[in-house]
Amino acid sequence: MNRFIQELTKGLWKEIPPFRLLLGLCPVLAVTKSASNGLGMGLAVLFVLTLSNMIISMVRGFIPKKVRIACFITISATLVVAVELLMQAYAYPLYLQLGIFVPLIVVNCVILGRAEAFAAKNPVHLSIADGLGIGLGFTMSLTFLGAVRELFGTGAVFGVPVMWEGFQPFTVMTEAPGAFLCLGIILGLMNWNTQHQARKRNLAVPENPLPGCGGCTACGAGRQGE
Amino acid sequence: MSIFEIFVSAIFVNNVVLAQNLGNCPYLGCSKEKGVALGMGSAVIFVTIMATLCTWLVQKYVLIPAHLEYLQTLAFILIIASLVQFVEMFLKKAIPPLYASLGIFLPLITTNCCVLGVTLLVQREELGLMTALVYALATGAGFLLALLLMAGVRERLETCRVPKALRGTPIALIMAGIMALSFMAFKGMV
């Protein structure tokens, strides 16, 4: 039970996906134009990630090592098709807003990265906890990033105006450049915070996290060092 | 839109990385050296065109007649995965010099969202086969351009003194943001 809680909570801060593990950046940057879009995308990923972790962990004994990536992709693609159909039925406006980024969950490195780094090696209940934890962390970060961008881009959060009167919105924040700038600055602040904490306690100052992608080398980012 | 306009708009105005936020992982991961960037970019161009051709034909002659459009995502990713495997084996046997330069990048491309993204966008915008192929070529070229620009900037950045907290990925993201800002200037072009 202790392990379960530990795996569940690590995704919420210590290994929070886009900020600490730098996983799955495409949806992070593209759909966080508003807080509600970020939340919707995060929940879709949470659903797929938890179920794919569960299924992969169940069949991990039968999958030959050589074709495992293909198997993981097939499993996650099946789940993504299910999410697409569910969203078309129950959340059609959100589905239109997210556009091709719903089907693109298939190639999101969060899914493959966790499958490869965790679910393929651990029992079912721990894999579910890992999926839930990382998925929740992902949802939180997407909502946070979406809220920041919406706040500066339109002066509102979740569509509710919060800035003072006469506030001039930086429209660029809701466009593509704003995504890069915003994520870059947030990552920088997080690194600064980590290093500041370490310095205060006289510990060794940690290096900035590289795009290691949790051991997943599927897209090439993790292979740089080899 | 004429073919030429599609070509220009896919490279500059709707650049796949800088305007549509697709393919960010290799954009940040493979942009440390110009040589690596060139190899990755060329491999993406090649696979995007092949994948667009195959998925377009499958969509038109298999999925639509069989009323299986809802399986598009599943079918496309499996086509891309097997296509990449096949291309890798073919290049290894038939054109070893090309395999030597592109080979290591090929397996990484299966999960590049740029490739799947283009094949899906082609279907959503209902482009014809010729237009779709031109669009795929231009998108790949736009990816290569963004990757090369970034690699050039990052090679220069090596010699600069960057604040410690921003070293690595944060500064790369901020550079990408500035680059995307300058690409926004192309908006009025098409």
pLDDT tens digits, A119-165 = 888 899 999 999 999 899 999 999 999 999 998 888 888 888 888 77
Q: How far is B185 from chain A (nearest CA, A)?
A: 12
Greatest Cα-to-Cα distance within chain B, rounded to the nearest angstrom: 60
Look at B18 and A218 and tell me if their CB atoms are within 8 Å: no
Look at B113 and A209 and tell me if their CB atoms are within 8 Å: no
Smallest Cβ–Cβ distance between B108 and the set A172, A177, A218 belongs to A218
Give the helix/strand (H/E) hosting B107. Answer: helix B106-109
**Which residues does chain A have within 8 Å of residue B32's beta carbon, measured at their own beta carbons?**
224
Can you give the pLDDT at residue B135? Answer: 94
**Which residues does chain A have within 8 Å of residue B43's beta carbon, measured at their own beta carbons?**
none
Look at A77 and B166 and tell me if their CB atoms are within 8 Å: no
Cα–Cα dist A71/B152, whole Å: 37
- CB-based contact, B174 to chain A, within 8 Å: yes
Can you give the pLDDT at residue A209? Answer: 63
Burial B35-64 (b: 16+ CB within 10 A, else e): ebbbbbbbbbbbbbbbbbbbbbebbeeebe
Q: How far is B77 from chain A (nearest CA, A)?
A: 8
- One digit per residue, pLDDT tens: chain B, 190 residues? 788 888 988 999 888 988 888 888 788 877 778 888 888 888 889 899 999 999 999 999 999 999 888 899 999 999 998 888 888 888 888 888 878 877 777 777 877 888 999 999 999 988 899 999 999 999 999 999 999 999 999 888 888 888 888 888 888 899 999 999 999 888 877 7
Can you give the pLDDT at residue B139? Answer: 94
Give the helix/strand (H/E) hosting B32. Answer: none
ipTM higher than the 0.90 cut: no
Burial A215-225 (b: 16+ CB within 10 A, else e): ebbbbbbbbbe
Short-list A40, A27, A35, CA closest to A154: A35
Look at B165 and A188 and tell me if their CB atoms are within 8 Å: yes
- Per-residue pLDDT tens for A10-24? 877 777 777 776 777
Give chain B's mean pLDDT.
87
DSSP state of A155: S
Short-list B175, B155, B170, B178, CA closest to B37: B155
Cα–Cα dist A179/B99, whole Å: 36
Cα–Cα dist B30/B150, whole Å: 10
Q: Which residues contact B144 (CB under 8 A, 6 or more apart)?
A: B37, B38, B41, B42, B44, B45
Chain mean position to CA A2: 24
Cα–Cα dist B169/A115, whole Å: 24
Cα–Cα dist B91/B185, whole Å: 39
Look at B30 and A224 and tell me if their CB atoms are within 8 Å: yes
> Which regions in chain A score pLDDT beneath 50?
212-216, 218-226
Compute the count of residue pairs across chains A and B with CB atoms less than 8 Å apart: 171
Can you give the pLDDT at residue A158? Answer: 86
Cα–Cα dist A149/A185, whole Å: 12
Q: Is the dihedral of CA B120, A74, A47, A150 positive or negative?
A: negative
In A30-114, at which residue ranges do the beta strands (DSSP E only) sit?
Answer: none
**Which residues does chain A have within 8 Å of residue B40's beta carbon, measured at their own beta carbons?**
220
Look at A73 and B28 and tell me if their CB atoms are within 8 Å: no
Which residue of A84, A107, A193 is the best one to mutate when testing the B interface, meaning the one whose CB has the most B CBs within 10 A? Answer: A107
Start-to-end CA distance of chain A, whole Å, equals 37
Cα–Cα dist A80/B149, whole Å: 34
Phi, psi of B35 (to 5 degrees): -60, -45
**Which residues does chain B have within 8 Å of residue A25's beta carbon, measured at their own beta carbons?**
24-25, 28
Can you give the pLDDT at residue A44? Answer: 93
Report the length, in residues, of chain B.
190
Can you give the pLDDT at residue A221? Answer: 41
Short-list B59, B56, B39, B60, CA closest to B143: B39
Burial A160-172 (b: 16+ CB within 10 A, else e): eeeeeeeeeebeb
